[in-house]
């Protein structure tokens, strides 16, 4: 064996034998400025005729040292084990398990309830044309919701037929899209993020709505009311009921606001609700102009539609004071659900 190799091998063996920390010793030998690494660099100074033999010598020295290091590591570990006290009776550390955000939980619940009565979940663009978000819903150009103070407009080229693009301010953009997708009977549920330029105790600029659309022959207001009652008893519990209050929306005629009895006083009236009722969302019988925009003959078909905010609906179930809590990602809040 080349004397240079022999010298490094002997030095390495004594390093390993006296080592307290085999990982550190490995670095002293094979690390960037280790003694063996320096030796390897020597190969370029060896006569070409002797290089192969020198290389073989290096390899055999390397495996000897590595083998010794492996043994040393095992014996160090074993002697640590025999001196260390492991309390096998100590309780284990409990792993924290996460869960779905309460909005996602509510979405699952809402889908399950409406699926039972034949509605099926669809999804449509969240960045959509003016036409689907407003015009096709019978909303004129000067409607206040179309002000850029209310709705987020996306910088885009104007399409001659569909207009500009907006971040959908409601899920009603799905109505005409669904009429274009399938022929009646239609039982659509559309759940999506919506965007409006508003933030306060009961609004966040991004929120969720669920929209229902039912179109068939001879659809009636009692069916609409029955659908809400079915949802309400399943989502809020058997003691809560709904009422329809006359209202105005451009895309329904007649239009209603849907109220649900307050969960605190069960409709008797309390400090939270004042009247005994909490407002849930809008609804009505689909306007003939909307059916026409979707290519459906209003003389043959009619239907109802409704659109409610998910965060607001959850807040009414759990008596939450501030909608913004949903999106502050405070675990002290989220862990409660």
Nearer to ligand DAH (CB atom), residue 124 or residue 249: 249
Nearer to ligand DAH (CB atom), residue 164 or residue 168: 168
- What contacts 194, CB < 8 A, 6 or more positions away? 167, 168, 169, 170, 171, 206, 207, 208, 209
**Contact present, 288 and 296 (Cβ < 8 Å):** no
**Contact present, 209 and 306 (Cβ < 8 Å):** no
Nearer to ligand DAH (CB atom), residue 235 or residue 251: 251
Q: How far is the CB of 115 from ligand DAH (least distance, A)?
A: 19
Count the helices and strands in the chain (H runs, E runs): 11, 10
Nearer to ligand DAH (CB atom), residue 228 or residue 306: 306
Q: How far is the CB of 171 from ligand DAH (least distance, A)?
A: 7
Nearer to ligand DAH (CB atom), residue 26 or residue 249: 249
Q: Could you give the angle at which helices 3-17 and 48-83 cross, rounded to 10 degrees?
A: 10
Q: How far is the CB of 156 from ligand DAH (least distance, A)?
A: 22
Q: How far is the CB of 120 from ligand DAH (least distance, A)?
A: 17
Q: Which residues of this protein are in contact with ligand DAH, per CB under 6 A?
A: 170, 172, 211, 249, 251-252, 281-284, 305-307
Tokens matching residue 9: 């091998």
Q: How far is the CB of 185 from ligand DAH (least distance, A)?
A: 17
- What contacts 238, CB < 8 A, 6 or more positions away? none
Q: How far is the CB of 318 from ligand DAH (least distance, A)?
A: 22
With H, G, I as helix, E, B as strand and everything else as coil, classify residue 142.
Answer: coil
- What contacts 276, CB < 8 A, 6 or more positions away? 261, 262, 265, 267, 268, 269, 270
Nearer to ligand DAH (CB atom), residue 267 or residue 309: 309
């Amino acid at each position: 064996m080349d004397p240079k190799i022999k010298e490094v091998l002997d030095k390495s063996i004594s390093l390993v034998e006296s080592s307290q920390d085999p990982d550190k010793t490995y670095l002293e030998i094979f690390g960037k400025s280790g003694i063996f690494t320096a030796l390897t660099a020597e190969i370029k100074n060896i006569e070409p005729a002797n290089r192969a033999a020198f290389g073989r010598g290096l390899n055999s020295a390397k495996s000897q040292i590595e083998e010794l290091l492996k043994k040393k590591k095992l014996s160090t570990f074993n002697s640590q084990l025999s001196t260390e006290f492991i309390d096998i009776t100590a309780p284990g550390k409990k792993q924290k398990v996460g869960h779905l955000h309460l909005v996602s939980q509510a979405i699952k619940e809402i889908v399950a309830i409406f699926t039972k009565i034949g509605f099926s979940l669809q999804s449509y663009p969240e960045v959509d044309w003016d036409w689907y978000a407003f015009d096709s819903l019978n909303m004129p150009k000067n409607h206040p919701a179309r002000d850029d103070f209310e709705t987020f407009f996306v910088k885009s080229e104007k399409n001659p037929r569909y207009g500009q693009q907006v971040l959908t301010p409601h899920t009603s953009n799905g109505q005409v899209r669904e009429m274009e997708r399938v022929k009646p009977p239609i039982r659509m549920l559309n759940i999506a993020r919506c965007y409006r330029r508003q933030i306060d105790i009961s609004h966040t600029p991004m929120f969720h709505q669920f929209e229902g659309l039912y179109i068939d022959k001879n659809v009636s207001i009692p069916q609409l009311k029955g659908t809400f009652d079915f949802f309400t008893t399943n989502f809020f519990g058997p003691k809560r009921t709904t009422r329809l209050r006359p209202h105005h929306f451009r895309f329904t005629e007649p239009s209603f606001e849907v109220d649900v009895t307050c969960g605190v006083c069960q409709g008797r009236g309390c400090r939270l609700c004042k009247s005994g009722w909490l407002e849930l969302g809008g609804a009505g019988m689909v306007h003939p102009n909307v059916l026409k925009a979707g290519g459906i003959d209003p003389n043959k078909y009619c239907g109802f539609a409704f659109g409610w905010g998910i965060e607001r609906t959850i807040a009414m179930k759990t008596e939450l004071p501030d909608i913004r809590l949903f999106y502050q990602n405070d675990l002290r809040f989220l862990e409660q659900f």
